């Protein structure tokens, strides 16, 4: 991550809005990496994110799970607490390595599962 993106991330609150079978709920995080980990946990695919991180393949798997199950909505926004402006984040903006994820959440298991 670049210094500029770090400043943006530090200044933002990341809001993940879920809609599973019309049950709507949201969670807020001070770090986008924690938001990605929460999405993996919510979709029950922590093994996928534990193998390689929040990569394009991970987000493809989220899309597959979304389409195959009762998901009606999933959005991630960054909220600037000063201006209260919200900006929708795309999966391309939410890609993180295993090391980056473990820096955000020391309890996050980064040991890949056995083959």
Please compute, for residue 100, the number of CA atoms within 13 A of its CA located in the half-sphere on the CB side. Answer: 19
> Tens digit of pLDDT for each residue in 20-43?
999 999 999 999 999 999 999 999
Residue of 61, 62, 64 whose CA lies nearest to 76: 62
* Summary mean pLDDT of the chain: 87
**pLDDT tops 60 at residue 112:** no
**pLDDT tops 80 at residue 51:** yes
pLDDT the model gives residue 4: 35
CB within 8 Å of 63: residues ≥ 6 apart: none
Q: Which residue ranges make up each domain of the chain?
A: 3-101
Contact (CB, 8 A) for 100 and 1: yes
Query: Is the whole-model pTM more than 0.75?
Result: yes
Percent of the chain residues past pLDDT 90, beyond the cut: 72
Residue of 63, 66, 57, 41 whose CA lies nearest to 97: 57
Assigned token pair, 54: 């929040």
């Amino acid at each position: 991550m670049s210094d500029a993106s770090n400043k943006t991330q530090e200044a933002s609150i990341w809001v993940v809005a879920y809609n599973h079978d019309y049950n709507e709920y949201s969670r807020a995080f001070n770090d986008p990496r924690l938001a990605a980990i929460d999405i993996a946990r919510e979709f029950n695919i922590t093994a996928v994110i534990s193998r390689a991180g929040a990569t394009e393949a991970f987000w493809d798997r989220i899309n597959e799970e979304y389409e195959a199950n009762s998901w009606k909505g999933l959005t991630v926004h960054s909220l600037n607490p000063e201006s209260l402006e919200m900006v929708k984040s795309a999966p391309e903006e939410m890609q993180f390595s295993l090391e980056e994820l473990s820096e955000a959440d020391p309890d996050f298991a980064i040991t890949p599962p056995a083959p």
